[in-house]
Structure 1
Amino acid sequence: MFTGIVESLGNLKQTKREGTNLHLEISSDISRELKIDQSVSHNGVCLTVTEVNENSHWVTAVDETLQKSNLGGLEDGDLINLERCMQMNGRLDGHIVQGHVDTTAEVKEVKDEDGSWVFTFELREAGLMVEKGSVCVNGASLTCFNVGEKTFSVAIIPYTFDHTNFKNLEKCSIVNVEFDIVGKYIQKLTSQNTGNPL
């Protein structure tokens, strides 16, 4: 479980293919603190740490993850948003994030608002989004607005811009999107006509 508050930026050092799996080595300032079997969010994707070196760590993405996320399209040197799992005795600064990417979206526009940036995205497939609701983009907890059937926008403040890979996003970039889990459960419950009261 994560909060969508990006903790560190990782740098993709190398990738290795093994069958349908993709192994990724990421260097970061938190890599040496990680442990094997630990869950870490990589661009919003929950992956298990398989190896820890002095300044880097390895994770493995299976085919299902590669099909649903942007991890398979990353290149050496790309920046990756990282977050360790939430601590139950801490504040939930973002929103509840599972690290299970629902789909990807393409950047349609980046607008400089003279002190902040507005990013507009087009989803690969429609999902559950509401105006001023929560959405997780590349592992960052954000508030969405101008929500359409397959489009939405988010505003990025300078701190978030500087401390995440949003600073490298441009038109046509692909990002990972996870919809709000609370909304997904409510949608599931209300769409089932079981005859039982909620």
Structure 2
Amino acid sequence: MFSGIVEEIGLVVSVSPSRLAIKVELIMGDLKPGDSIAVNGVCLTATEIKGKVFQADVMPETLRRSNLGDLRPGGQVNLERALTLSGRIGGHLVQGHIDATGTIKRITSDGEAKLMTIGAPPEVMRYIVEKGFITVDGLSLTVTDKTNDQFSVSLVAFSRSHTTIGGKKEGDRLNLEADIIAKYVEKFTSKTMASINEAFLTEHGFA
């Protein structure tokens, strides 16, 4: 489990169809084989560590659902270690399980901030509400606006300078993970609504 607060920008050293090698600085202090680490919001397991480089296996399903397949040596990725029970949750609860990718439609200025509008598929948009949470390439962000097929987030200067989001441009693909709480609410309420039929209403005096 993660919080969507990026700790460091890592440098992609090598890429193969099933493995990534990433150079890090800050998070290497207590990183060990078997640890979970979010790479652009994707939960991966560090399988090998040599010096300041860790390697992680990547499954075909992960490549299909995320933008990790777009990575090339020399590229940058957002990194976050898994939460500890004693730590603060500065963002929101993030699983590191990508629902789909979205595409940047436009980036505009809003005072000192930047507004980024992202097109997203129905399986993500169904969970998005204004002022709700969304994870974008590993960043916990707040939705400022939405339509049927796209939403907007506001990017402050700190986020732009301390993560890869500041270097993104229109047309780029981004990893999206909807708020897990929204998914559970939908599941529980759909079961409840399904049980409210004509017989139920009649039995309880509503019909």
Category of TM-score, reference length = shorter chain: over 0.9
Q: Give the structure-2-normalised TM-score.
A: 0.89
Distance 1:168 1:79 in 2: 10
Q: Provide the residue aligned with 1:88 in structure 2.
A: 85
SS in 1 for 2:146: coil
Residue equivalent to 1:168: 167
Q: Give me the whole-angstrom Cα distance separating, in 1, the residues matched to 2:3 and 2:138.
A: 9
SS of equivalent to 2:181: helix
Give the letter aligned to residue 137 of structure 2.
Answer: N
2:184 is aligned with 1:185: yes
SS at 2:20's partner residue? Answer: strand
Q: What are structure 2's unaligned runs of at least 5 residues? A: 197-207
Give the TM-score normalised by the residue count of structure 1. Answer: 0.92
Q: Write the distance in 2 (CA, Å) between the matches of 1:61 and 1:112.
A: 36
Runs of at least 4 residues of structure 1 off by over 6 A? none
- Which letter maps to 1:14? S
Whole-Å separation in 1 of the counterparts to 2:136 and 2:16: 25
AA aligned to 2:5 is I
Give the AA of the match of 1:175: L
User: What amino acid is the match of 1:107?
Assistant: I
The secondary structure found in structure 1 opposite 2:182 is: helix
**Which residue pairs with 2:2 in the alignment?**
2
Residue pair 2:107, 2:170 contacting (<8 A) in 1 also:
yes
The superposition leaves residues 87-146 of structure 1 with CA deviations (integer Å, 9 ceiling, x where unpaired) of 111221100000001110000011123411111000134421111100000000000121
Map Cα deviations across residues 20-39 of structure 1 (whole Å, 9 max, x no partner): xx200001112353110100
Q: Distance in 1 between matches of 2:60 and 2:28?
A: 24
> Share of identical aligned residues, percent?
36
Counterparts of residues 1-198 of structure 1 (less than 5 Å): 1-17=1-17, 22-29=18-25, 30-31=27-28, 33-127=30-124, 128-193=127-192, 195=195
Structure ID, larger Rg: 2
Q: Give the count of matched residue pairs.
A: 192
The letter for the 1-side match of 2:178 is F
Q: Report if the CA contact (8 A) 2:15-2:21 is conserved.
A: yes
Task: Kindly provide the amino acid, as one letter, of the partner of residue 183 in structure 2.
Answer: K
Contact 1:103 1:125 in 2 (8 A): no
Aligned mates of 1:53, 1:110 — CA distance in 2: 39
Query: Could you tell me whether the CA contact under 8 Å between 1:27 and 1:55 is conserved in 2?
Result: yes
Q: Residues 15 and 71 of structure 2 are in contact (CA less than 8 Å); yes or no, is this contact kept in structure 1?
A: no
Q: For the structure 1 residues 192 and 147, does the alpha-carbon distance in structure 2 shift closer, same or farther, using more than 3 Å as the test?
A: same
Structure 1 or 2: larger helix share?
2
- Secondary structure of residue in 2 paired with 1:112: strand
Tell me if the contact between 1:70 and 1:176 (Cα under 8 Å) persists in the aligned partners.
yes
Q: Is the 8 A contact 2:99 2:123 kept in 1?
A: no
In structure 1, stretches of 5+ residues that fail to align are: none
Quote the offset at 1:155 in angstroms: 0.4
The separation in 2 between residues aligned to 1:101 and 1:78, in whole angstroms, is 20
